[in-house]
Chains A and B, each alone.
Chain A
Amino acid sequence: MSAPVLQTDLAVIGAGPAGLSAALAAARAGARVLLLDEYSQPGGQYMKQLAQGFSVPDTSRLDDEMQRGAALAQAVRDAGVVIEPSTLVLASFAPGELAISRRGEPALVRARAIVVATGAHERAIAFPGWDLPGVMTPGGAQTLAKTQRVLPGRRIVLAGSGPFLMPVAKSLLAIGAEIVAVFETTRPRAWSPHVLRLAGHGERVREALAYRRMLRAARVPVHFNHIVVEAVGTDAVERVRVVPCDDAGRVRIGAGYREIEADALCVGYGFVPAVQLTRALGCAHRHAPVRGGWVPEHDQDMRTTVANVFVAGEVAGIGGAPVAAAEGQLAGLAAARTLGCTVDDRALAQARRERAHRRRFADLVGELFPVKPAYYAPITDATIVCRCEEVTAGEVRRAAAEWGGELNFIKGVTRCGMGYCQGRICGSIVEALVCQTLGIHPGSAGALTVRTPLKPVPVEVLAGLAND
């Protein structure tokens, strides 16, 4: 082997709330922990850190998530965890072994246990013009604003569905953005039957109310029961078309569209678990719409169906940072015990309870903001759905009609999901289109096979991983 080999007890993949918490719990229990993260600084998406190069004379003036992320990352380092930033996991060719690209150089990790905490991608849903420059995910816009104080545009429309639109609005407003309007496909009245289930989650409810007040103070109009149907522009988005919709997300017949001038449209419909690595590791997955789609199966201690592989956070089911941290803590303790470290029974029981409590709220949010079939209705046959390979919805629908409801056949016929992103963006859209075309149940069309390397790397890196 020409690539260096890194030996460790526990490898944790992903340094967001889940991965940091898992690494901390396991290290404090006595395990040797290696934490691999794709980004240049730990924190993940939720606790994104200010870009290196920017400076803050008074760190207490950074937002809460940045401060918490910095403190947690420091605690993880203090516990003796080795953090490897700018590191991609490319493949796993043997149990406990990960082929990685560490800041552009190949290496192998050999670990006795693995915690996968790879988080999620935003759920983008296609519509005509969604590939125009200026259309981006809310999270992408938030990252630009928070980490490097760059705005996605001068007139911003924020749209889609789910609680995440609120913190994005906050981050944009904090650096002086003009948010022309927020369009949310659901409406608060549709949530009221669930209000009793909010008991015991007062902190999260107060958070939501604070966002509402913030938008009102900034005079940002919020329109419920509205859906984006088109982005219009020549070289980039110039106008956004929005229509009223009912509680099922269906466009109201005859309502007519409203056109808003904007040079940025940030639109997203929640998140999709990033299961590429759990798939590559051979974990069994199940389709759980309330958790965001395909998720790895796991037991009460976050153990997957593959020996010594655990999951935590968004990859195990969408739920937000509190459940991610709780699952990280639980997975870290459970992994440490598996490795032979002494883990107090009460600590483990407490971690299980905390995780269950947080997951209940997360599942409620998942139920309040389901991905409704009508969200895919604006997709015309000419709309590109696979952005990498430029495959249109018409091609996917025709392939489904001709070849049937098996996603990997559709992929083979149309090339959708074969590009650089490996279906991270289009996978859930293609799945919905195929199931809708054939009238079959979501989740019954199989899943796109993942291919190694899980993300593109120069061929030199792969060559470095080959046997001599």
Chain B
Amino acid sequence: MLHRHPALETVARCGLPLAMLAVLVLVPVIGGYGVLVCAVVLWKASGVWL
């Protein structure tokens, strides 16, 4: 499906930095420990799904 929508595919390819940006923007909600937890969870998940 992505192949038929180049703009969507472009954004999807940037999924990782977008997810990371979301983590940093959420600092007022999740705090400093939350950033560390999210970073470690993302990294561990990459070892399974990527």
Judge: A and B partners, yes or no: no
